[in-house]
Structure 1
Amino acid sequence: MSSTVSDPAPHAPRLLHNGTIHSTAEPYAEAMIVEDGQVAWLGSDETAEQMRGEHLEVQDLDRGLVAPGFVGMVGLELDQLAAGAVAQVLDVAVHRLGYSGLRLRVDLSTHDINAQNLATTVQRLTETFNAAAGHAIDVWPIVHLNGVEADGGAPSITPVNQLLDMLEPLDAVGRAPAVQLTMGAILPNLLGVRSWCAEAGRQLLLDCSATEPGVVVDSMVASQRHLRELKQGPSPSTPTVLVGFDTAERSHWEQLLNTGVHVLLIAPGHLATALSVGVPTSAAPPEGENPWQLISDHVHHSSDPVSVRAGFNAQTRGAFRSLPDARPMAGQLNPGTEATYAVWAVEQLSVQTPHSTVSAWSTDQRARTPLLPYLDGETLPQLVSTVIAGR
């Protein structure tokens, strides 16, 4: 089936039927009415048949699954920035991968923000963020600054301060850009960096993929303690995000629990342990990969498997929770929420537990557990269409 973005007439009520709607409010919904960009009703096909009328457009789901859109992450180099290139990246995310939210990371170097190149950099970023803000998909911009070499002294992280100053005018373009830095590069000045970003109200993401987990944990615990003493911690609405952090040590996750950070897995990781401890943890697959692949990898993880529901939530509802200013109830399809979703062609639906040791294709309705695709480790759901705010 081809992947398209639906574009009905403005405010035309639409009835979707003959499928499965993934909703926490109505776990066994087979039909849905979308009106004025919102979910207006959820229920059974039998009831939907009685509601048909000339005022409703009707869409047969052909036994497909309607589920909240995913949240992903893509990156661009500064020399790739152009409105057309940005639109192409976002179109792929929506049309081919079923995303409704996206972290758009722009990679800069300290060379790009020096006095000689600053004006050009700001112009390119402005054009990029304008293009992103005008797209249907929800975009959260990130600027990743490379080339910082912290040595413990404040002058060594001057580029971070320069970046924070440079970003202020860009807040008017769309969403306020977050700052991403490489953990190992700024480790000697982690407290200063976190303090500056908190003071600026800027979300901080730390790329931890090349730093030992124990070092990350110890540094975050120590810096968080000092920030509390200084009363300079980040706002709960802009939590510090550890990108690419993972560890098999439960004690590491337990220590992170008291730091207020979120973790973003960018490869199959110890999601089950993180969730059992209570650390807010989301996931985003590699660029261009079917997002169900990472869910499948987490379900079939050799040492720390999770249910399909946990893997799915980590890339939808859980992912939205770590984003600043995400819309209320984002990542859910319930009456009154925004009608933002993807339609997937699926072979089987189930309540699938880790390693597929227990699966139920028809579960006790009293459990009120919405069904999701059965992931056998080989076949994946295929995108049929993506709808954002009813379009």
Structure 2
Amino acid sequence: MSQPVRSILYRNGVVHSAADPFAEAILVDDGVVAWLGADDTAAGLAARADRVVDLDGALVTPGFVDAHAHVLESGLAADSVDLSVGGGVRSLGEALAVLHGRSRRLEVSDPSGERVLLAFGWDEQAWPERRAFTRSELDAACGGRAVYAARVDVHSAVVSSAMAARAGIEHDPAWTGTGLSGSGWSDAPAQTGLVTADLHHTVRAVAHTLTAEHRTRLYRDTLAAWAARGIVSVHEMSGEHLDTRAGLAELHALTSDPAGGLPHLAAYRGELCRTADDARALLAELPFLSGIGGDLNVDGSIGSRTAALRSPYSDLPADPSSASFTGTLTNPDGTPWTGNLYLNADQIAHHLAAVQEAGVQGAFHVIGDRAMDEMVLGLQVAAQITGDSAVRAGHHRIEHALFVDATTLAALLVRGVGLSVQPAFDTAFNTRAGGGQGVYVTRLGAARAGSLMPFADLAQAGVPLAFGSDTPVTPVDPWQGVRAATGHEDPDQRISAGAAFRAHTRGGWRLAGLDHTGAGQLRVGAPAHLAVWRAEQLGVQAAPGRLASWSEEARAGTPLLPDLSPDAPTPECLHTLRDGVVIHDTF
């Protein structure tokens, strides 16, 4: 538990505040901002503060909000074998070697083979082989152990034969391929080892069986690590395929009191409701929910080719014998493969109507453009059921929203829908370091990939925007999220660092319906959610990708931000404060 301190004075630094862009000091008292101003004035306030922090030129900003996260999944990923390029695995062969080494070590600590070997983060597009390892390769590398190896998007995984048997799917027609006649599969999943959709959810649930103590440790360690990155609030996107209701209740209990030393939690639960009674029953068990939805999937992901698209995936071969890891070449009706649509407009509409009547937000995971079409149609049907004003008053949200064309944008504005988006998707999956081709370009082609995530169009239209990571899909690195939005692949879709920063701070509170408290801003009377940063250079982000020197003549009234140009070092988080309680400290 963090030790409460009634008041803290931060002085001799730089304060990012629109209320006083020239502030050098800030006083927090009883969990709120009590004063901010010049450092010479702060000297007279030092005696009344319980603690005085000498910033030594550091920057104080509103704390970040991660508006789409998965706490348990991220904790498990951190405990798993890291198969990502960032983790040093640069080829299929290296991945198998790493898995083999971990399996050999487990033979000593777990000779009975009870423990599942968990791995995470592989992306075949980042490897020269341009394919994933197969079930037989996994079996050979890991000596017959149960292995669950999730793809980076966590919408598919390769599993070993022993894992399939442990999950009870080895005779399932969806695994053997015997039930897929006419579905377009050229290779049975049992041959590739790949599981997607419901089969993936089944295997993941078994692979992620945890003791109560292990689960609690993962929750605490994961949230504490995020606090050390300047995160003061997390939108947890829980779901039936991700965590239990009891797990979400525990997470809420761990985070409800700031004195617990962890970030604030805005809790969402992705369970489909048909009636208001369904929604009320869920709220009776989980009364703290900000919304019912979040990871309520209308479709899947582009990397796993489960996102629902208007046009076929671009990288599927015409020759079935050369099928890549999914083996999926056609839709069940024989047309070219366009992904999975898990929910239809009727289901979306009735869910929205149900949660509106119960008094909470609805939220849906939407990736592909065909899925977005279905989402927009669902909003229209909901408006017919409940009325336009009721839908707008619901302040519903869409997660990810990669495809937003002009027609979709107009529909979202009319219905008052907010978007929770992940800017790091653009740098992680649309481009590669050194200009290499990312998975979005591979799966969609350059033209379609170039239209994804139109940040500038969304910001200029006034769509409520919040930024997050979708961790563990991309790391919790909020400054990288801001940097990605300012450096979009399409220069016309870049936004200023100030706009991106607001989306990653105040925008998260707004999307959760909590911005009326003043959260996300540093002004007198606002809740004291802040972070302190060591940054080599500060200035005014006068234009995307360009840092102007600070002076009254340059941009009076504009708060300072760190240099976020591509080669600039990432600011270091020194201190994080939630509701006046220190949750990370290096001073």
Q: TM-score, normalised by structure 2?
A: 0.56
| Residue-by-residue CA offset, 1:247-277 (whole Å, 9 max, x unaligned) | 3634432332111110111234322110111
Q: Does 1:105 align with 2:237?
A: yes
Query: What amino acid maps onto 1:186 in structure 2?
Result: L
Find 2:21's aligned residue among 27, 34, 42. 27
Residue 91 of structure 1 corresponds to which residue in structure 2? Answer: 224
Residue 468 of structure 2, aligned match among 284, 299, 322: 284
Task: Encode CA deviations 1:137-171: one digit per residue, 9 max, x unaligned.
Answer: 221112224xx7xxxxxxxx76x878635422234
Q: What does residue 138 of structure 1 align with?
A: 264
3-state DSSP of counterpart to 2:363:
strand
Would you say 1:261 and 2:417 are equivalent positions? yes
Counterpart in the other structure of 1:186: 343
Mark the runs of 5 or more structure 2 residues left unpaired by the alignment.
74-204, 299-340, 427-452, 582-587
How is 1:1-391 mapped onto 2 (pairs within 5 angstroms)?
10-11=5-6, 13-53=7-47, 57-72=51-66, 73-75=68-70, 76=72, 79=209, 82-94=215-227, 96-109=228-241, 122-134=245-257, 135=260, 136-145=262-271, 164=279, 166-172=281-287, 174-176=288-290, 178-180=292-294, 181-183=296-298, 184-189=341-346, 190-212=348-370, 215-216=373-374, 218-220=376-378, 222-229=380-387, 233-234=390-391, 236=393, 238-247=394-403, 249-267=405-423, 268=426, 269-287=453-471, 288-303=475-490, 304-325=493-514, 328-357=517-546, 359-364=548-553, 367-378=556-567, 379-391=569-581
The separation in 2 between residues aligned to 1:301 and 1:200, in whole angstroms, is 39
* 1:46 CA displacement: 2.2
Q: Report the CA distance between 1:323 and its aligned residue.
A: 0.2
Opposite residue 48 of structure 1, the aligned amino acid is: A
Comparing 257-266 with 356-365, which one deviates more in the overlay?
Answer: 356-365
Asked whether the 8 Å contact 2:353–2:382 carries over to 1, the reply is no
SS state of the match for residue 25, structure 1?
A: coil
Amino acid at match of 1:10: V
Match for 1:315: what amino acid?
Answer: H
Distance 1:70 1:91, change over 3 A: same
Deviations 1:192-233 (Å, cap 9, x if unpaired)? 12111212223211100244376156425523541454x783
Q: Is the 8 A contact 1:350 1:359 kept in 2?
A: yes
3-state SS in 2 of match to 1:386:
strand
**AA aligned opposite 2:232:** S
Query: How far did residue 365 of structure 1 move?
Result: 7.8
Quote the offset at 1:324 in angstroms.
3.4
CA contact 2:382–2:391 (8 Å) conserved in 1: no
Instruction: Report how far residue 89 of structure 1 moved.
Output: 2.3
Q: Would the alpha carbon gap of residues 295 and 109 (structure 1) be closer, same or farther in structure 2, given more than 3 Å must change?
A: closer
- Aligned partner letter, 2:495: V
Instruction: Indicate the RMSD between aligned Cα atoms, in angstroms.
Output: 3.0
Letter in 2 for 1:170: E
1:34 is displaced (CA, Å) by 1.6
| Contact 1:194/1:204 (8 A) holds in 2 | yes
Deviation at 1:279, TM superposition (A): 1.2
Q: How far apart, in 2, do the equivalents of 1:357 and 1:17 lie?
A: 28
1: CA distance, partners of 2:410 / 2:39: 46
How many Å separate the matches in 1 of 2:379 and 2:41? 54
Q: Distance in 1 between matches of 2:47 and 2:354?
A: 58
- For 2:523 and 2:239, locate their aligned partners in 1 and report how far apart those are by CA, in whole Å: 37
User: In structure 2, do the counterparts of structure 1 residues 97 and 218 end up closer, same or farther at CA, with 3 Å as the change threshold?
Assistant: same
Structure 2 CA distance for aligned equivalents of residues 51 and 19 of structure 1: 15
Query: Could you say if the C-alpha distance between residues 100 and 384 of structure 1 is closer, same or farther in structure 2, counting changes exceeding 3 Å?
Result: same
1:362 deviation in Å?
2.4
Q: Distance in 2 between matches of 1:261 and 1:52?
A: 45
Instruction: Give the letter aligned to residue 302 of structure 1.
Output: E
Cα distance in 2 between the residues matched to 1:213 and 1:300: 27
Q: 1:40, 1:175 → 2: CA distance?
A: 30
Conservation of the 8 A alpha-carbon contact between 1:217 and 1:252? no
1:132, distance to aligned residue in structure 2 (A): 3.5
8 Å contact from structure 1 (residues 179, 204) kept in 2:
yes
Distance 2:561 2:500 in 1: 11
Distance 1:208 1:315 in 2: 20
By how many angstroms is 1:366 displaced?
7.1
The answer to which structure, 1 or 2, has the higher relative contact order (CA under 8 A, 6+ apart) is 1
Distance (whole Å) between structure 2 residues aligned to residue 89 and residue 348 of structure 1: 30
3-state SS in 1 of match to 2:252: helix
Could you give the per-residue CA deviations for residues 115-148 of structure 1, whole angstroms, max 9, x where no partner exists? xxxxxx5544433432333444221112224xx7
Residues 369, 123 of structure 1: alpha-carbon distance in 2 compared, 3 angstrom cutoff: closer
